[in-house]
Structure 1
């Protein structure tokens, strides 16, 4: 059985790639490190965004595992335009996976991107992998495996959040494991 611990980054100062974790986010990262301290982890993949790296740095140092950065794990861009009603527009992209706003990425394209990462891990040698990413991208992967995971589930994610994906007998199941 292969396992992916899919992590949404800890509380951050903002949305740009260079946004750091807040003081509370740094505490959450330490809590994550403790949470994983008794688990066997073989590999850590992360979005190259600063908040994602900072989320997992403490654990990576503790386990002496190099963080592998993967651009496919960056957050999905809804649009390059300022959308005052962005939340409603995001909601529609959970129902219409092909919908694409100016300069943005459709839910379908973003799903394909993170699915490529998951499939590579499930087909690889390592048994237990941590993947650190962002809320929308995480939600789209979970929706792929369970179609009724939607907008409200995304809204109910926490920072951080952790889901365990298990690949066994050519089937993927998942459960939320964060408190």
Structure 2
């Protein structure tokens, strides 16, 4: 029995320091409509999302039965304070998966929470098509658990939004497919 997880990295958002309430930009809202159009063709059974507004807004148009919020799909906490060079700070945690910036999560810790929730979905909703509204770094960390090819360079190639369909037999990843193209 196969289960399909559609990981959806949120669309472009308007920057605010409030991670939880940061909304999509106008372009992000337009792209969210495209995400909904693409995924409505996939016979989606369940929509799960990070509790962050931008992730919810990105997958809102897909669900006919509401969205289940899952805090474990929130973005990884990189640091307790803004970092001067975001890309370099992310690269550092990918170079040393045990390293964490002050107040932040290491790759090991963030991956563990994301994978735990992913495994829970695979067990409780086997055979279903599930959309997961999430964020780039945590999404790639989860994908990296199943295949090391999903790494820092892969993270750098992501777009906002981005959609990856992961097909599983039980808890074994058997295929990854990118859905749509965004710029």
> What are the Cα deviations for residues 8-46 of structure 1, in whole angstroms up to 9, with x where unaligned?
011110262211101111110111111112211111100
Specify the alignment match of 2:116 in structure 1.
116
Partner of residue 3, structure 2 = 2
Q: 1:81 maps to which residue?
A: 81
Q: What corresponds to 2:138 in structure 1?
A: 137
2:181 is the counterpart of 1:176: no
Structure 1 residue runs of 4 or more that deviate by more than 3 Å after TM superposition:
none
Ranges in structure 1 where 5+ consecutive residues have no aligned partner: none
Q: Which TM-score applies when normalising by structure 1?
A: 0.92
Q: Is the 8 A contact 2:122 2:170 kept in 1?
A: no
Secondary structure of the residue aligned to 2:117 is helix
Distance 1:170 1:32 in 2: 26
| Corresponding residue for residue 11 of structure 1 | 12
Per the TM alignment, residue 169 of structure 1 is displaced from its structure 2 partner at its CA by: 5.6
Report if the CA contact (8 A) 2:122-2:171 is conserved. Answer: no
Whether the aligned pair in 1 keeps the contact of 2:11 and 2:24 (CA below 8 Å) is yes
Where does structure 2 lack aligned partners over 5 or more consecutive residues?
none
Alpha-carbon distance in structure 1 between the residues aligned to 2:60 and 2:89: 33
Q: Which residue in 2 is equivalent to 1:94?
A: 94
Q: Residue 76 of structure 1: SS of its match in structure 2? A: coil
Listed one character per residue, the Cα deviations across residues 124-152 of structure 1 (whole Å, up to 9, x for unaligned) are 23511100100110111111111132111
Match of 1:20 among 19, 23, 35: 23
Report how many aligned residue pairs link the two structures: 176
Cα RMSD after superposing both structures: 1.4
CA distance in 1, matches of 2:163, 2:28: 15
Normalized against structure 2, the TM-score is what? 0.90
Q: Is the 8 A contact 2:6 2:132 kept in 1?
A: yes
